[in-house]
Homo-oligomer: A and B are copies of this chain.
């Protein structure tokens, strides 16, 4: 039989890297399963979009959208309409300008670099190299700050089990920072919905504080922009960072940075370096996004998915209803408890599940049994090995799929309660 690789080019026998053929045989065991991974459901790409990518030949090269690039920058491309799309993305989130980035992490990095430069501006004595972030911020926020040479400080949250971000904590911390350093932080940031518990942060209130102290303000909307209505004017945000592969039904890596006001020019400033020799300069390239973020097939997928995404945010309440129903259903299993705020206002769910932990102690597959059993029942995305706590999302699932997911958890729980004679009530 002729293998896939031999079909490819008949070159395999020449290859010096041993065993390289196996990469041609990659199989995706999960291709027919329903995705319930907490951070992936908002990124599920509609089947029609996937098909278009290949049918229309956008998957032919990484430079698929660059053939009509006139100015060496993807945001200035008119065919396909990248420039118009970025304007529409900006409008979609209430911003004035947007650039696409290598994921939300790169968008956050661009903001941190902007701030890092801002606090070093000549004659600027008011702001220090400090980011004041909410205590539930994603690790990429911290790493972006580290890469830009900024410290990361946090107010406290309301503690277990709700872990709510408290607005007044920001104020206290700002006062503390001023006392300690004599300066304001260079940036205040809030994670619109956090990756731990799916709490919706009081981002407008934080924005008011940022405005009051006149500190630039970034909202990380990685888990919100694209699934629920977000307007950075309402949030009073100067910067909004977005993840297309988390929440805009797009392939990755892709994100967006949207900006407002005077921060736009700073964030998207041109390169200033001069090559000392040839004297070359690149004034057409945007420094903080590496000149041009290429885009490629992830960006095309985001464009195809945009009508769908722009439409679905208006149906957010229906998603919330399904999510809240599921929380009710899950907590009927004895001992199961939702972490994060109640009533819950996001699709990302984090449960304490002592029953599954107890089962894992007796199961020969240990903690792995749960993800395994869910996969057997058609659902992929539980963190393998985790049973004490589980995170998942039913965003975008039909009601029928949602009921099946609930039934799967009930079934698994019942099965082992019976098998191990455990003392738990399961509906």
Contacts and interface: CB of A to CB of B under 8 A. Distances in A.
A183 B24 CA distance: 49
Interface string A141-166: 01111110001111110000000000
Given A37-B67, A152-B275, A62 B140 contact: no
Contacts of A22: 81
A278 B154 contact: yes
A151 B66 contact: no
Interface stretch (A210-218, A302-310, A412-420): A302-310
A277 B44 contact: no
A277 B140 contact: no
**Identical chains in the assembly:** 2
Given A37-B63, A304-B24, A381-B67, A310 B53 contact: no
Interface stretch (A232-240, A248-256, A347-355): A248-256
B66 A37 contact: yes
Interface in A7-22: 7-9, 11-17, 19-22
A59, A62, A92, A282, most chain B CB atoms within 10 A: A62
A411 interface: no
A311 interface: yes
Contacts of A293: 102, 253
A8 B308 contact: yes
B291 A139 contact: yes
Given A273-B146, A296-B245, A28 B64 contact: yes
Contact of A17 (B12, B156, B310): B310
B62 A252 contact: yes
A4 interface: yes
Contacts of A88: 17, 19-20, 23
Given A61-B245, A275-B154, A51 B48 contact: no
Interface in A262-288: 271-278, 280, 282, 285, 287-288
A315 interface: yes
A91 B53 contact: no
Contacts of A151: 276
Contact of A311 (B9, B58, B296, B384): B9
A142 to B, nearest CB: 5
Interface stretch (A103-111, A201-209, A337-345, A358-366): A103-111
A126 to B, nearest CB: 21
Interface string A28-49: 1011100101011001111011
B56 A26 contact: yes
A70 interface: yes
Contact of A297 (B142, B155, B297): B297
Given A53-B54, A287-B143, A296 B251 contact: yes
A5 interface: yes
A377 interface: no
Contact of A105 (B37, B139, B291, B306): B291
A294 B103 contact: yes
Contacts of A147: 113, 287-288, 290
Contacts of A277: 135, 153-156, 173
A380 interface: yes
B45 A311 contact: no
Interface of A: 4-5, 7-9, 11-17, 19-24, 26-28, 30-32, 35, 37, 39-40, 43-46, 48-54, 56-64, 66-68, 70, 80-81, 85, 88, 91-92, 102-103, 105-106, 109, 113, 133, 135, 137, 139-140, 142-147, 151-156, 173, 244-246, 250-254, 271-278, 280, 282, 285, 287-288, 290-291, 293-298, 300-301, 303-304, 306-308, 310-312, 314-315, 380-381, 384-385
Question: Would you list the 8 A-B pairs with minimal beta carbon distance, nearest first?
Answer: A62-B245, A11-B311, A154-B277, A62-B252, A31-B57, A102-B102, A146-B273, A252-B296
21 contacts: A5-B308, A7-B48, A15-B314, A17-B306, A20-B307, A23-B81, A24-B306, A28-B64, A30-B57, A30-B67, A35-B60, A40-B62, A44-B60, A54-B54, A62-B250, A102-B103, A139-B282, A144-B290, A154-B277, A251-B296, A253-B296
